[in-house]
């Protein structure tokens, strides 16, 4: 039935008014949002100007592929920028520059002392690690405040209770297995030498050692327990982890960081979720099979990690905190160590003389025994009383230690750590105000020529120019093992290349949120590198540039570290 005329007119007028209202409200809201955004950005710019750092423009990425292409040269570009700002000023002439990211003033630091001052004083990561939260959840890598503190304490206590001997034994067993496999492959090929990709092999090795240490069970045993082939479990996990190591940091630098919901709808977001589910299958296997007296077994009986709701993985349910921690530790453990070992081998390939010297240095009865090397060729160490080898310290194998340190100096595989400042940080004439985000580029700190002579040169001898009389690594799990995270020259005196002792070296970051696994990594890498170098000679691959970095979660050789290997026969002690 038609409405009376006056009613129709009134409805029409009311609609027109409400349309105008709606349009006006939307326009006003947009204008208001724009003004607020401009004010916020202007404020952030003023904060950067007050901090006296050179300003650059932040360009968010839209597509992760685009990010990947540019990521290859990321470290080089950042380092060039630091060199430029230090040389030409533009700010205070320091190795620092800033940009407004979203609405946040963000200062990048590539200078040793400033980096330390930043990392020493703050534990806050949130909201800067948001992109990592879907993966590591409430594990200590992304946890905050009391939750982080309590969980970190629990993890460190568990590591401490288990000790390093169990890790050393696991690393010896798995390294010997990998070496046997490689020898078999050489034999089957029937040739003196073969081409191989080091990175995938080292990923398997590091994963097995990390899994074995965390659970007290070998990965082989755990797979057998659930009736799955170890090779399949490893391949699935490593493929998923490799995808995630690109996807997650790409999201962190893209516009997708701002909305979980929208990101989850994109094909990339769905790919990320699928791969996270795959990595959780290994976490679930680790938790199901962990022995009571292993680190994970202890966390299972702890308190902090059991507080959150249960999460289902396959047929099992686990407290979310425990599952997240296991995922974090498995990933952090295998990815960093395999990347570092790959870079180490590539550096040794380019420096044949150092490779040979390292091999000869291993023919030493103390080292052979301590690292479980199968070598028959051993010399009695003159200074040794033949008793217990202090294998957990850096002092017992100076050449090996120096090669690892120098590798971590030039290739700190987690090159960027980011913190939210909860107090002003001042250094010389620069003050970075509270509320700023700071990105410390460890890769650039390690190339700061105010601290390092010939920073670009791979020179392990810079660490042995003075004697290794005092240990650099105590093997303890205390929080204040400053010497370890800074790892100054092991003698405590400046080695030839280090102008200011202890300031410019922090491959495991520094301060309260430095790496919890650094002592573990040092043991595993000593054992693994020694076994590989003792067994094989490594030479450059035919015609590939092996050293182009691929920047993701960690920095790895982009082509998987191609190498030629043959049995080590050339050198005698």
Count CB-CB contacts under 10 A for residue 369. Answer: 16
Question: What is d(CA 296, CA 282) in angstroms, rounded to the nearest whole number?
Answer: 13
Does residue 515 belong to the site contacting ligand HEM (CB under 6 A)?
A: yes
* 305 sits near ligand HEM (criterion: CB under 6 A): no
Name the minimum Å distance from CB 376 to ligand HEM.
31
Are 233 and 219 a contacting pair, CB within 8 Å? yes
User: For residues 190 and 492, what is the distance between their CA atoms, to the nearest angstrom?
Assistant: 49
368 touches ligand HEM by CB under 6 A:
no
Query: Among residues 218 and 337, whose Cβ is nearest to ligand HEM?
Result: 337
Is 513 a binding residue for ligand HEM by CB under 6 A? The answer is yes
Residue 353 CA to residue 323 CA, distance in Å, equals 46
> What gap in Å lies between CA 206 and CA 342, rounded to an integer?
11
Angle, CA 546 vertex, CA 543 and CA 550 arms, to 5°? 140
Among 211, 463, 508, 538, binds ligand HEM (CB under 6 A): 508
Rule CB under 6 A: say whether 404 interacts with ligand HEM: no
Q: Which is nearer to ligand HEM, 403 or 414 (CB)?
A: 414
Residue 501 DSSP code: T
CA 362 – CA 96 distance, rounded (Å): 42
Pick from 152, 208, 359, 405 the residue near ligand HEM by CB under 6 A.
152
Q: Which of 249, 333, 475, 549 binds ligand HEM (CB under 6 A)?
A: 333
What track of x and - describes contact with ligand HEM for positions 416 through 445 (by CB under 6 A)?
A: -x----------------------------
410 is a site residue for ligand HEM (CB under 6 A): no
Task: Count the neighbouring beta carbons within 10 Å of the beta carbon of residue 429.
Answer: 9
**Which residues are within 8 A (CB) of 402 and not within 5 positions of it... i.e. 6 or more apart?**
460, 461, 462, 463, 464
Segment contacting ligand HEM (CB under 6 A): 173-181, 284-292, 411-419, 454-462? 411-419
Question: Of the two residues 210 and 558, which places its CB atom closer to ligand HEM in the complex?
Answer: 210
- Which CB, 340 or 464, lies closer to ligand HEM? 340
> Are the CB atoms for 203 and 278 separated by under 8 Å?
no
Stretch that binds ligand HEM, among 31-39, 422-430, 487-495, 503-511 (CB under 6 A): 503-511
Helix (H, G, I), strand (E, B) or coil at 517: coil
Nearer to ligand HEM, 354 or 521 (CB): 521
Task: With contacts defined by CB under 6 A, name the span among 195-203, 237-245, 250-258, 410-418 that binds ligand HEM.
Answer: 410-418
Q: Binding site for heme, residues?
A: 515
The span from the CA of 426 to the CA of 423, in Å, is 10
529 in contact with ligand HEM (CB under 6 A): no
Q: Least separation, in Å, of the C-beta of 554 and ligand HEM?
A: 8
Whether the Cβ atoms of residue 422 and residue 124 lie closer than 8 Å to each other: yes
Cα distances from 409 to residues 268, 350, 504, in angstroms, run 33, 16, 9
Would you tell me which residues interact with ligand HEM (CB under 6 A)?
140-141, 152, 210, 328-329, 332-333, 336-337, 340, 413-414, 417, 507-509, 513, 515-517, 520-521
């Amino acid at each position: 039935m038609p409405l009376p005329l006056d009613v129709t007119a009134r409805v029409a007028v009311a609609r027109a008014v409400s349309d105008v209202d709606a349009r006006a409200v939307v326009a006003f809201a947009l204008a208001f949002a724009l003004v607020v955004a401009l004010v916020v950005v202007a404020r952030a710019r003023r904060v950067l100007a007050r901090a006296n750092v050179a300003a650059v423009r932040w360009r968010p990425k839209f597509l992760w592929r685009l990010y990947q292409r540019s990521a290859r040269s990321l470290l080089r570009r950042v380092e060039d920028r630091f060199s430029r700002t230090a040389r030409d000023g533009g700010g205070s002439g320091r190795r620092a520059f800033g940009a407004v990211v979203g609405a946040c003033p963000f200062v990048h630091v590539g200078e040793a002392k400033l980096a330390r001052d930043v990392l020493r004083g703050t534990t806050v990561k949130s909201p800067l690690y948001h992109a990592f939260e879907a993966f590591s959840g409430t594990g200590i890598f992304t946890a905050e405040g009391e939750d982080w503190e309590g969980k970190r304490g629990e993890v460190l206590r568990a590591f401490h209770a288990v000790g390093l001997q169990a890790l050393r034994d696991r690393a010896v067993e798995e390294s010997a297995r990998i070496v046997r496999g490689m020898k078999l492959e050489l034999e089957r090929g029937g040739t003196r030498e073969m081409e191989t990709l080091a990175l995938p092999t080292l990923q398997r090795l590091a994963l097995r050692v990390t899994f074995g240490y965390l659970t007290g069970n070998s990965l082989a045993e755990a797979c057998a327990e659930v009736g799955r082939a170890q090779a399949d479990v490893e391949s699935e996990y490593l493929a998923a982890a490799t995808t995630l190591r690109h996807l997650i940091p790409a999201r962190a630098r893209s516009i997708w960081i701002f909305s979980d919901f929208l990101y989850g709808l994109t094909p990339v977001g769905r790919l990320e979720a699928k791969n996270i589910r795959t990595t959780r299958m290994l976490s679930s296997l680790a938790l199901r099979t962990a022995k009571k007296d292993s680190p994970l077994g202890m966390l299972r009986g702890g308190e902090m990690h059991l507080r959150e709701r249960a999460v289902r993985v396959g047929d099992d349910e686990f407290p979310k905190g425990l599952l997240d921690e296991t995922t974090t530790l498995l990933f952090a453990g295998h990815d960093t160590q395999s990347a570092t070992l790959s870079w180490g081998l590539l550096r040794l390939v380019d420096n044949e003389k150092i490779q040979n010297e390292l091999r000869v240095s291993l023919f030493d009865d103390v080292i052979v025994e301590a690292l479980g090397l199968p070598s028959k060729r051993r010399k009695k160490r003159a200074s040794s009383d033949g008793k217990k080898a202090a294998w957990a310290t850096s002092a017992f194998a100076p050449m090996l230690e120096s090669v690892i340190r120098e590798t971590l100096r030039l290739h700190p595989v987690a090159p960027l750590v980011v913190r939210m400042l909860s107090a002003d940080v001042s250094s010389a004439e620069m003050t970075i105000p509270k509320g700023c985000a700071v990105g410390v580029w460890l890769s650039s700190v390690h190339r700061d020529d105010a601290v390092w002579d010939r920073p670009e040169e791979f020179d392990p001898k810079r660490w042995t120019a003075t004697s290794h009389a005092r240990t650099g690594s105590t093997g303890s799990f205390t929080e204040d093992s400053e010497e370890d995270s800074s790892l100054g020259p092991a003698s405590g005196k400046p080695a030839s290349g280090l102008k200011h002792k202890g300031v410019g070296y922090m491959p495991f970051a520094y301060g309260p949120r430095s790496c919890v696994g650094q002592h573990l990594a040092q043991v595993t890498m000593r054992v693994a590198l020694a076994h590989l170098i003792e067994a094989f000679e490594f030479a450059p691959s035919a015609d590939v540039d092996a050293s182009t970095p691929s920047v993701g979660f960690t920095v790895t050789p982009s082509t998987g570290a191609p190498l030629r290997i043959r049995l080590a026969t050339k050198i005698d002690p």
